[in-house]
Structure 1
Amino acid sequence: MKQIIIIGGGAAGFFCASNLDETQYKITILEQNSDVLQKVKVSGGGRCNVTHACFDPRELIQFYPRGNKELLSVFTRFQPGDTMEWFDQRKVSLKIENDNRIFPESNSSQTIINTFLNEVQKKSVEVKTKCVVKEIEKQDDQYLVKTNAGDFMADYIIYSTGSSPKSLKIIENLGHKIVDPVPSLFTFNIKDDLLADMAGTSFEMAQTSIPKLKTEESGPLLITHWGLSGPAILKISAWEAINLAQLKYHFEIEVNFISLAIQNAEEIFQHFKQNNPKKTIGQSKIFDVTNRFWQKILHVSKVDHNKQIANISGKEMQSILENLCRKKFQVTGKSTFKDEFVTAGGVDLKEINFKNMSSKLLPNFYIAGEVLNIDAVTGGFNFQACWSEAWLIAQDLNNL
């Protein structure tokens, strides 16, 4: 019986093992940590954001800053609808939330982990944890996998290690070109009076732009203890991952907290002023922001919150609107977004055959997951790439 060694016990590795024909192969998963499926466990705050309700491959690829062209053919064969069906067949109920993210009904990532553990157990897949791969050698028609727990011979290798520098070095030594990995999905570190003591304040729809890179994104925004986060920031961090690394994470960002052009905001302000001249500016709910944030805007704009709105000068109004609609911040670094660390970079996509995720350089060698130079914005898309790639590998091997 031919031996398949899966290196990496994460999403791609387990999904592949779960779909392989165990009557055809002896399957072993090697995982360097003491626990498997660690990213699945922490995803979505421990609820596991399995995938995203986007069922048109052409729309789906728009969420991938790197790998979008290559993934089109992959998603044409296995997309989020297929992922939902796969779990449904295994009695796992999934639900689509308002923002189209998909979670297990149980709201627990353990449901997803248990499903994979059951599948591989049924198939008698051997799972070896604390098994660190040190080197892979090509030997005639096979591969010798050297680990801290002894050597393994493989007829086929599925390389789904994630993007650790060590795992990228191993595959580089086999001849693959590596695009230097840089962090994707991260939050921005900003020290600014407007954000001080505002952690936890959120905005339903904000606009962010980095003038130097001529790039902009919109979406929900969150003030954190160290700066700014939320989809509006995470999206821009993913799309501009490589450029921001080159800037060493020091750059200017402009934020429009209320997603209104400054002229439109001025009209709303003037209209409110005419209708409520006697109200104090501090008590005026002119824009859709929290009261705490409004008081902070007035403080930063140097406007007395007890002043009647009729007495607000044109200069004071401009100052308020500038801080709301065109506030510039200096970013001085980044922070990892939760534990869901994602990287841009990895194995060069030109060296992969996307019909079956096989290496164009190494025979009987397949590559999937984050070790590839593919990454997505937050929302279940990174997992979907893993499921789809792993499914293609399993189909290819089952049909040999």
Structure 2
Amino acid sequence: MNIIIIGAGPAGIVAAINAKNENNNVILIEKNDRIGKKLLATGNGRCNYTNLNLSEKNYSSPDFVKDTLKEFNNYDLINYFKVLGLESTIDGNRVYPITLKANSVLNILMYWLNKKKIDIRTNTEVLEIKKDKKGFEVVTNEGVLKSKVVIAAFGAKSMPASGSDGRSFEILKELGLKITELKPALTQLKLESKYLKHLKGTKVIGKVKLFEKDKKVDERFGEILFTDYGISGPPILDLSVNISKDNFIEVPIINNVDEKTIEMLYSRYYMFPDFSLEEYLMGIVDKKFIHYIIDSLNLDKKIAMNMISMSDFEKILEILLKSRFKVLGTMGFKNSQVTRGGVDLSEVNSYNYSCKKIEDLYIIGEALNIDGDCGGYNLQFAFSCGYRLGRILSEK
């Protein structure tokens, strides 16, 4: 049985390895000049491939991913790589290859592709898919390939430099499949503020809240990084998909704000009456934040704390705990790690990823309208559905 897999990313590669047996001829098609190009960029080149805190709640469509994660979870994936020959290591809850190199993951996968004699076709772009009673004809820039089974495992629209430009969805549209709106997810935010160049490189650990006008639409916790264009960090990436119009964010500029923080700030106000405002702030925030606070409130950095009125002090508290910045937008698909949108999930059976309209067409990974949180969740899903589908087809 011929199986053609379109897209040699995480889902496609693992599907190929697990689908291949003595009765299957697996052809892995990749339009780039090498496979796994996008995989090499994950986790800042370290490949954070799963997370110890794995749950269906980490995904945009929890009901759809539930069976997948139940059958092949994070510990199954860690053990799978161990069986393939790759050891892992943990940083917090994030799981990486022990080498902390994404190319170690790709090298192991390439070893097994070669060992199983998978037919890999690089520099090959799919132009059209035709279906008749005999099977599929996959039209490429290198000619026409025939198969019994086709697996759509291409990337969506994020990181177009890796080959994911969204054009493959047009091929599925021509087959009659519904494609949802594509939006960048897990990307940085552009902010409006004259202080960004000054704040560039400052970090704070805390809760960031996203508002649309006066309505809170999302909140996340983690390390927040200010940049010359706006703001980044895992919590920012997680809420970026919810950006619309009239958004602003609210962030603390003191690390790890809790119920004792306000008490601490008032206590310092009374403990250090002779401190200047600059000296008061120096012990609680990054030095770069001091200019931002003083200039925003039009205060004198040399003014003594006992000369600051309670109303002005409360304004200082407000900016320390709830700094607000207008959101101009996201950094777009070019900088996004994943895409929200893709093949509508109503078109696909969740138990085996088969297309409901077209027999023997399967859709996995980022081609589906599923995206996960920052922290290895998207790679976990890609590997999980690739593994499950490969096993299903191997047994079939």
Residues 1:298 and 2:301 are matched in the alignment: no
SS of alignment partner, residue 389 of structure 1: helix
Structure 1: distance between partners of 2:114 and 2:167: 29
Which of 84, 89, 102 in structure 2 is aligned with 1:109?
A: 102
Q: CA deviation at 1:306?
A: 1.6
In the alignment, the residues of structure 1 paired with residue 110 and residue 29 of structure 2 have an alpha-carbon distance, to the nearest angstrom, of 14
3-state SS, counterpart of residue 32 of structure 2: coil
CA RMSD of aligned residues (A): 2.0
Residue of structure 2 in register with 1:150 after alignment:
143
Instruction: Select the residue among 70, 76, 87 that pairs with 2:70.
Output: 76
Which stretch shifts more, 208-217 or 128-137? 208-217
Q: Structure 1 residue 368 and structure 2 residue 368: aligned?
A: no
Structure 1 distance, partners of 2:34, 2:79, is: 27
Give me the whole-angstrom Cα distance separating, in 2, the residues matched to 1:86 and 1:266: 48
Percent identity between the aligned chains?
Answer: 29
| 1:79-99 residue CA offsets vs partner (Å, 9 max, x unmatched) | 11010001111221111112x
Q: Structure 1 residues 140-149 or 279-288, which shifts more?
A: 279-288
Q: How many residues of Structure 1 are paired with residues of Structure 2 in the alignment?
A: 385
Q: Is the 8 A contact 1:358 1:365 kept in 2?
A: yes
- 1:2-21, Cα deviation, whole Å (9 max, x unpaired): 11100001111001112123
* Cα distance change on mapping 1:113 and 1:389 into 2, 3 Å: same
2:378 matched to which residue of 1? 382
Q: CA deviation at 1:120?
A: 0.6
Alpha-carbon contact 2:188-2:336 (below 8 Å) kept = no
* 1:396 counterpart letter in structure 2: I
Q: Are residues 1:234 and 2:237 paired?
A: yes
Give 3-state SS (helix, strand or coil) of 2:196's partner: coil
Instruction: Give the match for residue 209 of structure 1.
Output: 210
Contact 1:187-1:337 at 8 Å conserved across structures? no
1:344 aligns with 2:340: yes
Provide the C-alpha distance between the structure 1 equivalents of 2:262 and 2:312, rounded to a whole number of angstroms. 12
- 1:199 aligns with 200
Q: In the alignment, is the contact (CA less than 8 A) between 1:22 and 1:124 conserved in 2?
A: no
1:204-250 deviation digits (Å, cap 9, x = unpaired):
11332314353222322110110011122112113x2xxx35x3xx5
Q: How does 1:53-64 map to 2 (within 5 A)?
A: 53-54=52-53, 60-64=55-59
Is the CA contact (8 Å cut-off) linking 2:20 and 2:118 kept in structure 1?
Answer: no
Please list every run of 5 or more consecutive structure 2 residues that lacks an aligned counterpart in the other structure: 157-164
Contact between 1:353 and 1:360, CA under 8 Å: does it hold in 2? Answer: yes
Cα distance, 1:132 vs. partner? 0.7
Partner of 1:88: 82
Q: Conserved in 2, the CA contact under 8 Å of 1:3 and 1:155? A: yes
User: Residue type matched to 1:226 in 2?
Assistant: Y
Q: Which is further off, 170-179 or 324-333?
A: 324-333
Which residue identity does 2:287 align to in structure 1?
A: N
Which amino acid in 1 is paired with 2:64?
A: E
Q: Which amino acid aligns with 2:184?
A: P
SS in 2 for 1:183: strand
Rounded to whole Å, the distance in 1 between the matches of 2:34 and 2:336 is: 16
CA separation in 2, counterparts of 1:365 and 1:208? Answer: 41
Q: CA offsets, 1:251-282, max 9 Å, x none?
A: 22232333648x96554332112211122221
| Paired letter, 1:333 | G
| 2:283 matches 1:282 | no
Residue 338 of structure 1 and its aligned partner are, at CA, apart by 7.9
Matched, 1:223 2:226: yes
Is the partner of 1:179 in helix, strand or coil?
coil
Q: Which amino acid aligns with 1:235?
A: D
CA distance in 2, matches of 1:337, 1:364: 31
Contact 1:208 1:232 in 2 (8 A): no
SS of the residue corresponding to residue 342 of structure 2 reads: strand
**Structure 1 CA distance for aligned equivalents of residues 261 and 212 of structure 2:** 21
Q: Which moved more, 1:204-213 or 1:153-162?
A: 204-213
The Cα offsets for residues 39-91 of structure 1, whole Å up to 9 and x where unpaired, read as: 11011111111111125xxxx11111x22111111111001101000111122
Indicate the SS of the match to 2:167. helix
